[in-house]
Structure 1
Amino acid sequence: MASLDFNRTMLAFFGALVFYGVIVEFTSLVFMPWRTERPGYALPGSAPAAAVAAAPAAAKEPPLPELLAKADAGKGAADAKICATCHSFEKGGPAKIGPNLWGVVGRPVASAPGFAYSDAVKSLGGDWTYDKLNGWIGNPKGMAAGTKMAFAGEKEPQKRADILAYLQSLSDSPVPFPK
């Protein structure tokens, strides 16, 4: 009779272990934690570098003058809030991580006082035109491969046009939009 009690006790013990294992596996499947490929948080308006590289250059984008005709500087100011983490927009404002953007339209490239530009940006040359700024806002690393700018780019053409309209308003003598 003692061996029968021992067998029942062992059966109950191993049954409890199996039941515990089934419960653990079931809850692991139901409440599986979600893990990202890379730790961290995505910034609004940014995209992974692989997605930027894979995106077609300008897939059936309306011409810039057409986009600028519909541009809203108020929306551009809201869209440019992400830029304010690295740039200042005030007249005579300081250079932050990036240069001050007051009067950037029509200004020579890499010419903001008090900011150390990368060689990649210096090599662009010329002035910041609306076309050049549109390309820069869309894909900075595509225009200057060695730039220190970490922003991946704004892919929506109308948002870029709104930002350009906002940048136009940041000047004592605004440069007119191209026709």
Structure 2
Amino acid sequence: MDSFELNKLLGGLLGAAFVVFSIGIVSDSIFASPAPEKPGFEVVAAEPEEGGAADEGPSVEPIAVRLASADASAGEAVFKKCVACHTAENGGANKVGPNLWNIVNRPIASHEGFSYSGGMTEFSEDHSVHWDYEHLDHFLEGPRNYVKGTAMAFAGVKRPEERANLIAYLRTLSDDPAPLPEVEEPEAAEAATGEDPAAAQEAAPEGEQPAAEEPAANGDDASTDAPAETQETAPEAEEPAAQ
């Protein structure tokens, strides 16, 4: 290829590049879309109020309330999740976990012959903390979340009703089962005892409204109650003329 042909080829390439570049500049100027000074939709993330609690989902009834209607037989079926690591009979051997006979109200990390993890031993506060119903409920929901450092790998029983049934079954693992916790009276009942008498009177049926108190009778005729001024200003009876 001679120099003339090479020049034509290079010129064509340069010309094509110039045309493409020019078209890009023109199109940018025509279809330019500058960013607005203020967005059309301003999205403001709502921040929780100071001291406000995060959404914790549906509230769970206290264990005392759930135990009142718990089914120990159903809890025995739930306990099948635990038999790989625990025994339940009196005098049963320790396995991966300690024997659970008489577990309710037993001091934490106190079963003889079992080597507890450092996290469980620390949680027990030198065996001063007991496995009462509240501690059992929270621990069985998520052992590692409740007792940091425990060696128990069980994921937990997430459904509150199942936990109550399981705890009701654990309560039966004793010659003298621990008493069930007392259920606190609803606050509404307490509020009713301090009801405003005036409000109660307004709410009472019309026929039961107390009668208005009448003034005590003084035994005098109504005419004697006339003002003294009227009696004093009354004209005296005229005396008959002397005959």
TM-score normalised by the chain length of structure 1: 0.67
User: Which structure carries more relative contact order (alpha carbon 8 Å, separation 6+)?
Assistant: 1
- Assess, with a 3 A threshold, how the Cα gap between structure 1 residues 57 and 91 changes in structure 2: closer, same or farther: farther
The code of the aligned residue for 2:177 comes to: P
Q: Which runs of 5+ in 1 are unaligned?
A: 1-55
TM-score normalised by the chain length of structure 2: 0.49
1:175 aligns with 2:178: yes
Question: Runs (4+) of structure 1 moved beyond 6 Å?
Answer: none
Deviations 1:23-71 (A, max 9, x none): xxxxxxxxxxxxxxxxxxxxxxxxxxxxxxxxx8674101211100110
1:83 aligns with 2:86: no
- Assess, with a 3 A threshold, how the Cα gap between structure 1 residues 135 and 91 changes in structure 2: closer, same or farther: same
Aligned ranges 1:29-178 → 2 under 5 Å:
59-125=58-124, 126-178=129-181
Higher-Rg structure is 2
The alignment's C-alpha RMSD in Å is: 1.3
- Assess, with a 3 A threshold, how the Cα gap between structure 1 residues 57 and 111 changes in structure 2: closer, same or farther: farther
The code of the aligned residue for 1:97 comes to: V
Quote the Cα distance in structure 1 between the aligned partners of 2:180 and 2:108: 18
Identity of aligned residues (%): 44
Quote the Cα distance in structure 1 between the aligned partners of 2:56 and 2:138: 10
Q: Which runs of 5+ in 2 are unaligned?
A: 1-54, 183-243
The code of the aligned residue for 2:78 comes to: D
Deviations 1:8-27 (A, max 9, x none): xxxxxxxxxxxxxxxxxxxx
- Assess, with a 3 A threshold, how the Cα gap between structure 1 residues 176 and 142 changes in structure 2: closer, same or farther: same
- Assess, with a 3 A threshold, how the Cα gap between structure 1 residues 160 and 57 changes in structure 2: closer, same or farther: farther
